[in-house]
Each structure stands twice: as structure tokens, then as C-alpha cells.
Amino acid sequence: MNNKPLASFIALIGLVFTTTAQDTTYLSGRFESTDPNDAKYYQVVSQREELTEKKVYTIYGDLYLLENYADQAMETPEGVWEEYHSNGKLQSRTHYKNGLREGLYTYFDFKETMRLEGSYTKDLSEGIWKSYHRNGQLKYEREYQDGILEGSALGYYFDGKKKFVGSYSNNLFTLAEAYQPNGERMTEGNSGHWVGYTDSLQLGVQRGNYTDGLKQGKWEILNPETGQIVARLTFEKGKLVGPVVVFGEDKQVISEEEIEDYVDKGGAEAYLNLDPYPLNMDSVKLSIGYPQIARDAGIEGQVVVREMIDKSGRPTDYRVLRLVHPILSKAVTNQIMDLKFRPAIQDGKPIKFWVNIPFNFKLIGSDFKLFKKKKRKKKKN
């Protein structure tokens, strides 16, 4: 196989960007080091001023990931991070400072339409966050303080008409008034029956009652195409008081999530569009453990694995997105396929879905002290 075009492209990168050091690694479809002839991606690491920049490209030269770090070990995120869709369009942009998210965050769909924007302060959501319909029209506007929903909340239909007015206090939503798609009142002030609608405004996707501005009693989430129940929830004075029951296409209960696993942020219709949810993460993490050789060597950091989950919730493939050390990544990949998931749901139906899963390894307490003691002894010798 002739690698000259790829080599020329990488050489061109070196000419365009002024760097003091540059390292190229070829990666497999699972983001593991591989021979150039078998590579699906390649990674270019370079020093740019005071930052270590990592770029991951497809083998055809399309940018896939951009990450910046404050250190050469690439453990402390700093500056701009970007992810790209498979069509080359920007997917998300995040800013970091001292390893924490800081400043503006934006997310775009593959058509370059902004779908979400907001700001972080020391890794916590802060201020007004806005989400948008696929036509670019404002959908929700919510206010955060120190990572908690606190303050005003507004909702809008696909055509820009007002949907609801309300507020949050310590993540608890209180309705002030709600409107039908035609502009008429849906509730009598902050009490009454609520019906949510799809973007096409044709069919209700959720229904339930508000009493004095708070959700009360049984709420149901519906499939917009069939009207079939997707999930059922029970509220008492705005708080979830029972399990979230999610139904399959055969109308049988497929899972019951614990209360703390469900966070209502004003849009219960989110149960029509769910990311995969791990059901046995704790047991898998116990199986992974912390490799003793990594403890002894003082190796720590985060391994991020991107895993494909099928319609039944089973993993079928994975890729290592962030590799801090082969010892840690090997410990994770040996167990990663043992995870079990509630499948992703789109428009009320299970779908295949890629999900990113972080695994953090950090020395604490006696382990960290022992490692430092070993380093001091080594220096004396």
C-alpha cells in the first residue's frame, strides 16, 4: 500500500502550524495504536506555545477531535476542545481552564444548526442555557446557579409561539402558565391538565396534571407516531416519588429506574429520546479495579471508551478515545463488553447508539503517600 499521500498530508500540517515538537500515532477503529496500513485514524500531538495540542483525524484527513492540555502528559485539559460529526461539521466546542470546564459551551447538529448553548464556571452550569429546535427556533431557556436549576424557565413551540412560563428552585420546576399551540391557555394559571406536542404540533407526547404549579399524580410519555405509552412516572408536589417505568414496543415493562437516576428538567418528553443507560456499571468497575502495577508506578488518569450499544442494550463494539496508559486502558477494555444497558430510544423506539464512557483512576490516601515515599527512596539511590 502506498502511504505517500497520507505522509504528504501530515507533512503539510507541519508546514501550516508552527510547533516545537510533533508526534504522530496511527490508530485502529478502536483508537488503539496500529500499523499505518491498518489505520482508521491518526493522532498528531504537538506543542503550541504553552499547550499540548492533540488532533485526531480520519485516515482521509478529516478532523475528528481537537483537544488541548496544559501538560505534556495530557492529563489537564486547557483551552478549546472540539468534536466533529462524520460529515466534517463541528459537533461541539468546550472551553477548559485548569482542568475544569469554563466559559461557553455549544453543540451543533450535523446540519450546523446550533441545538444547545450555555456557560460553565468551574465545571458547573451557570447562567442562562438555551436549547433550540432543529429549525433554529428557541425551544427552552433555563437558568442555572452553581450547577443547579435556579431561576426563570421559558418554553417555545417549533413555530416560535410561547409554550410555558415557569421557574426553578433547587432543580424543582414550578409552572406559572402554559399555552396550546394555537396560543390559547392550556392551564388555568398554574393548575390543570398539560399536554406536550411534537415539533409538527400534531400529537401529544406527554400528559399529566399540575396543581399549584407542581406536577402531581401519574404522568405518561407517549410515542408520537403511535400514541403508545413509552414511560410512566408518578409525582407528588413536583417530586418523583416512584420508579420511572419504561415500556417496550410489546407494551411490557422493560426497566424500572430508581428515583435518583431520573432528573426532570422541565421536558419529560426526553423519554422519547434517551441515551443508553448502564445497568451494571458498579459491578463492572469492581471487576476492573485498579491494577496493582499501576498503583505501584503511580499511574493515574482517565480512560474514555466509546461503545456501540445495539437495540437490545448489548455492547457490540468499542473504541478507546482517551488512552493515558496502556495498563489502565487494558484493564478497562478487558471488562468493557460485560456492560449491560437500557438501549437508546429515539422517537419512542430502541436504536443503535454510540456512547462515551469515562473511567477515572486516581491515587488517594495511603496509595498516593506510598507512591511518593517510593519516589523519594529512588532518588536517594
Distance CA 237, CA 174 (A): 10
pLDDT (0 to 100) of residue 187: 87
Over residues 126-139, the pLDDT tens digits come to: 999 999 988 899 99
pLDDT (0 to 100) of residue 105: 95
**How would residue 200 be classed by pLDDT, with cut points 50, 70 and 90?**
low
pLDDT (0 to 100) of residue 12: 37
Averaged pLDDT for residues 168-175: 90
**How would residue 225 be classed by pLDDT, with cut points 50, 70 and 90?**
low
Lowest-confidence pick of 103-107, 269-273, 294-298, 346-350: 269-273
The CA angle 30-109-106, to the nearest 5 degrees, is 95
Residue 235 makes CB contacts below 8 A (sequence gap 6+) with 208, 214, 215, 216, 217, 219, 241
pLDDT (0 to 100) of residue 204: 58
For the chain, give the mean pLDDT. 79
pLDDT (0 to 100) of residue 101: 94
Residue 118 has pLDDT above 50, yes or no: yes
pLDDT (0 to 100) of residue 6: 42
**How would residue 201 be classed by pLDDT, with cut points 50, 70 and 90?**
low
Strand-pairing partners, residue 320, are 305
Over residues 230-241, the pLDDT tens digits come to: 788 888 998 888
pLDDT (0 to 100) of residue 253: 62
pTM attached to this predicted model: 0.63
Over residues 183-193, the pLDDT tens digits come to: 889 988 889 98
**How would residue 281 be classed by pLDDT, with cut points 50, 70 and 90?**
confident
Over residues 241-253, the pLDDT tens digits come to: 877 777 765 556 6
CA torsion angle 139 274 351 228 (round to 10):
-80
Q: What percent of the chain shows pLDDT beyond 90?
A: 30
Over residues 65-100, the pLDDT tens digits come to: 999 999 988 889 999 999 888 778 898 999 999 999
**How would residue 209 be classed by pLDDT, with cut points 50, 70 and 90?**
very high
Phi-psi region of 277 (alpha: psi -120 to 50; beta: other; left: phi over 0): beta
φ and ψ of 198, to 5 deg: -75, 170
Residue 153 has pLDDT above 50, yes or no: yes
Over residues 3-43, the pLDDT tens digits come to: 444 433 333 333 333 334 568 888 887 778 888 888 888 89
Over residues 282-325, the pLDDT tens digits come to: 888 888 888 888 887 888 888 888 899 888 888 999 888 877 78
Question: Can you list the domains of the chain with their CATH numbers?
Answer: 281-380 (3.30.2420.10)
φ and ψ of 103, to 5 deg: 95, -160
How many CA atoms are closer than 13 Å to the CA of 307, on its beta-carbon side? 27
Strand-pairing partners, residue 127, are 144
Cell of 279: 445497568
pLDDT (0 to 100) of residue 322: 75
Count the residues in the chain: 381
Characterize 336-349 residue by residue with b for buried, 16 or more Cβ atoms within 10 angstroms of its Cβ, and e for exposed: beebbbbbbbeebb
Residue 199 has pLDDT above 80, yes or no: no
Residue 58 has pLDDT above 90, yes or no: no
Residue 109 has pLDDT above 50, yes or no: yes
Averaged pLDDT for residues 260-275: 48
